[in-house]
Amino acid sequence: MEVRTRRASLHLTQHDLAQLAGVSERFVRFVEQGKPSVQLDSLLALLGTLGLELQLTTRTRTAALHDGTAAANLREQA
């Protein structure tokens, strides 16, 4: 919801933001709705237009181990 909140605080419509960022209104809607997969370059353009940035953090050991187990299970099923 950070994107929607920031857009609203700047008094921009989805159309305005799309034009400024060089993306489609549909893309703006997808991001605001939390679509699980979007193009990274378009997302970065959208965030940059809003003065936001994407940050990466180290995951907890528990989360990493859980994901590792899930990946191993998928490999076994293949």
pLDDT tens for residues 26-77? 999 999 999 999 999 999 999 999 999 999 999 877 766 676 665 565 566 6
Q: Are 14 and 7 in contact (CB under 8 A)?
A: yes
Structure confidence at residue 69 (pLDDT): 60
Tokens at 44, concatenated = 């970065």
Q: Say how far apart CA 37 and CA 57 lie, in whole Å.
A: 19
Q: At 36, is the secondary structure helix, strand, or coil?
A: coil
